Structure 1
């Protein structure tokens, strides 16, 4: 098992880092990214020796609901709307994706880390908290909830699916999106905490710069060597 750097003991210092392919993409339709994730996860379920993957991208406006998410948190009729709405195999309630939001899809084999979903969720939060710290922003966790908050505003949502310890889905960090789309839902089923973005704290923040910061934090937290994908 390869531990993240902050958990390595002295005897592990010389251990080689696990390799992880990094795919930086621009705007990609949700269904295309979903099919890609499913293919990557399936191939790794069948071959445990394949390298891990981190996909970073943006989506056109789209709403997604977790497997057991309730439609009560939608403020519109999904059967009578032009908005794209998908129910997918991740956990969690309804969320919204749009340009200006950095979405990360790690396809990791947790057998090489820790076979513990709570550990994995906390590590994803840590990636985002460290990324915010680069900008002098203090990201917070809220007990009993998943995600990252900034001065009481939720700036990052997390939802995952794991099959035979291979992960898919991941996190969405609001960098500089139009937050208007969140007004049509109760984001993550949380009615009493507003959604926010990094741009509200750092006007003019650049998403591509944040993308690089998040990739670096991901490599540090999970103890991997990122390799550029095609």
Structure 2
């Protein structure tokens, strides 16, 4: 049994704005009371674009003035990305004082969770030197963007499971030209997103050496 307990909230479909506000609330609570347990939020979002704090609008292929969809600039790192149903978005709210106060370590841990989950479905994935995220071949299957405030984490990663990728065609994903995006279902048509969520929780617990309740 591991000492650190992480409370799981498998929320399901929720608007990006509500999930964002909930994360901010959880972070503030832990800044006020560092003894509170960590959280692991699993969500899916209706179609939405998000931009990192320093991201450029040059990576948008549409005119913001005539865009009728949802788009948010957030405090996470990274460039523009797209969320939609069929994509698992994971928001760990962790107090890194109990792990390692090292952002590079944390990012590599998140990548390791994704790589091990994909391996469970016989998919060989990899990191790309100098970039954050996980790839299968030249196609990105998971994007990562985090914010850490006094070593409390928020935001996280998005794993493309069985989502419609057409929304990515309107942006340069993560600001990386000449790369594509892919899904688990592209390689495994029988994939079940509920099972992937369960596997993800199991692997997260192993990689971070925590107990999830």
TM-score, with structure 1 as normaliser: 0.91
Provide the residue aligned with 1:52 in structure 2: 38
Provide the residue aligned with 2:4 in structure 1: 18
Preserved contact between residue 174 and residue 198 of structure 1 (Cα < 8 Å): yes
Work out the number of aligned pairs and report it.
213
| CA positional deviation for 1:191 | 1.0
Kindly provide the CA deviation profile for residues 105-142 of structure 1, in whole angstroms up to 9, marking residues without a partner as x: 00000000000000000000000001001111111000
- In the alignment, the residues of structure 2 paired with residue 23 and residue 32 of structure 1 have an alpha-carbon distance, to the nearest angstrom, of 14
Preserved contact between residue 2 and residue 209 of structure 2 (Cα < 8 Å): no
Provide the residue aligned with 1:207 in structure 2: 193
Kindly provide the CA deviation profile for residues 161-207 of structure 1, in whole angstroms up to 9, marking residues without a partner as x: 00000000000000000000000000000111111111110013111
Provide the residue aligned with 1:99 in structure 2: 85
Gaps of 5+ in 1: 1-14
Match of residue 40, structure 1, among 26, 29, 32: 26
Provide the residue aligned with 1:141 in structure 2: 127
Q: Secondary structure at the match of 2:181?
A: coil
- In the alignment, the residues of structure 1 paired with residue 170 and residue 205 of structure 2 have an alpha-carbon distance, to the nearest angstrom, of 35
Residue 85 (structure 2) pairs with residue 114 (structure 1): no
- In the alignment, the residues of structure 2 paired with residue 175 and residue 119 of structure 1 have an alpha-carbon distance, to the nearest angstrom, of 25
Provide the residue aligned with 1:193 in structure 2: 179
Moved over 6 A (4+): none
What RMSD over aligned residues (CA atoms) do the two structures have, in Å?
Answer: 0.9
Instruction: Map 1:146-165 onto structure 2 (within 5 A).
Output: 146-165=132-151
Provide the residue aligned with 1:74 in structure 2: 60
| CA positional deviation for 1:35 | 0.4
- In the alignment, the residues of structure 1 paired with residue 161 and residue 98 of structure 2 have an alpha-carbon distance, to the nearest angstrom, of 31
Q: Secondary structure at the match of 2:64?
A: coil
